Structure 1
């Protein structure tokens, strides 16, 4: 799903506030809490219901979030009143992207055939960092069709170390030698 212009603006504004106040990691944590909270569709529908008064909804949000930066709480109230609370995950993702850019970290979408544990993830991350010469932040997904290995998408680059790709290359090579 593509990130809307309004989400990008919100994320940019939050990032600038976090940068000015030197609270980049705190905001990252707060946005993560908010994004996790709105995964509950019933909760989101309840707090975005225009027929319910704001005060009880605000109290419910405070109770569910616990200790959170007051400005982050104001952000969630703004998102509630604008009907944009459902975009909280995108906002958190865009903030994460801005944070990574700030620290010079590239974002990599890595596909593997099976789920990988933290040790394998760290090893794979280090391997890709060696290849591209940059620190990376990995988001993983699983696709059994690649058979093994990994496929990494970093910006406009693709690193295909999948078994499926190797088999396809071998198939082409064998077909060419037959000619």
Structure 2
């Protein structure tokens, strides 16, 4: 079965259940924490795929992965995944839940990637610029990626503006025939 289809089905089920409990906001915050911790701890996925780990241990692992009290909706979602042997899709489901939640609540995610940390003043100017151009609620994410060398990449929803120095260098290398530049 298609991983995207599985993620969508489970994420929708968890979202509907969380709405019934009036806990969608809390589950959304927990899903963001889980994603952050999942990325920070690559061994988490390996542990979830370990066939020797009992369902109870997997539940405990996923419950503690968010770093705070999980709550009923989150726990029931985890149990559903484990019972149906879908723990390998947990990150995809987590990402899909966030996408569904943002769509349902009129939230647009703005990701700013820079080569180095930005000052609070610069971040405030970027946030203000984006706010002036949309009527949606905005969720900002700032990521530092030194590989872009300089400039920035701004992702708003599914659109992207790449004003990085790395992009300029790649374009110049193609223009001058240096096809092997990376």
**TM-score higher than 0.5:** yes
Please say if residues 149 and 161 of structure 1, whose CA atoms lie closer than 8 Å, have aligned partners that are also in contact. Answer: yes
Displacement of 1:135 after TM fit? 3.5
Show CA shifts across 1:12-65 (max 9, x none). Answer: 222222223221221113334544565545454445433444345545655666
Higher Rg of the two aligned structures: 1
Deviates more, 1:22-31 or 1:137-146: 137-146
Name the CA distance, whole Å, in 1 between partners of 2:34 and 2:139.
21
Structure 1 residue aligned with 2:20 = 20
Q: Counterpart of 2:133 in 1: which secondary structure?
A: helix
Aligned residues: 169
Unaligned runs of 5+ in 2: 172-182
Please say if residues 112 and 152 of structure 2, whose CA atoms lie closer than 8 Å, have aligned partners that are also in contact. Answer: yes
Q: Counterpart of 1:22 in 2: which secondary structure?
A: coil
Displacement of 1:81 after TM fit? 4.0
Structure 1 residue aligned with 2:177 = none
More helix by share: 1
Structure 2 residue aligned with 1:54 = 55
- Aligned runs of 1:1-179 on 2, under 5 Å? 4-35=4-35, 38=38, 40-58=41-59, 67-116=69-118, 120-144=122-146, 148-160=150-162
Tell me how large the CA RMSD over aligned residues is: 3.8
Q: Counterpart of 1:4 in 2: which secondary structure?
A: helix
TM-score by length of 1: 0.66
Show CA shifts across 1:118-160 (max 9, x none). Answer: 5543432221222345432233334446554433222453345
Name the CA distance, whole Å, in 1 between partners of 2:98 and 2:121.
23
- CA, structure 1 residues 119+27, in 2 after alignment: closer, same or farther (shift >3 Å)? farther
Please say if residues 28 and 95 of structure 1, whose CA atoms lie closer than 8 Å, have aligned partners that are also in contact. Answer: yes
Displacement of 1:161 after TM fit? 5.0
Name the CA distance, whole Å, in 2 between partners of 1:41 and 1:165.
29
- CA, structure 1 residues 114+45, in 2 after alignment: closer, same or farther (shift >3 Å)? closer
Name the CA distance, whole Å, in 1 between partners of 2:133 and 2:85.
43
TM-score by length of 2: 0.65
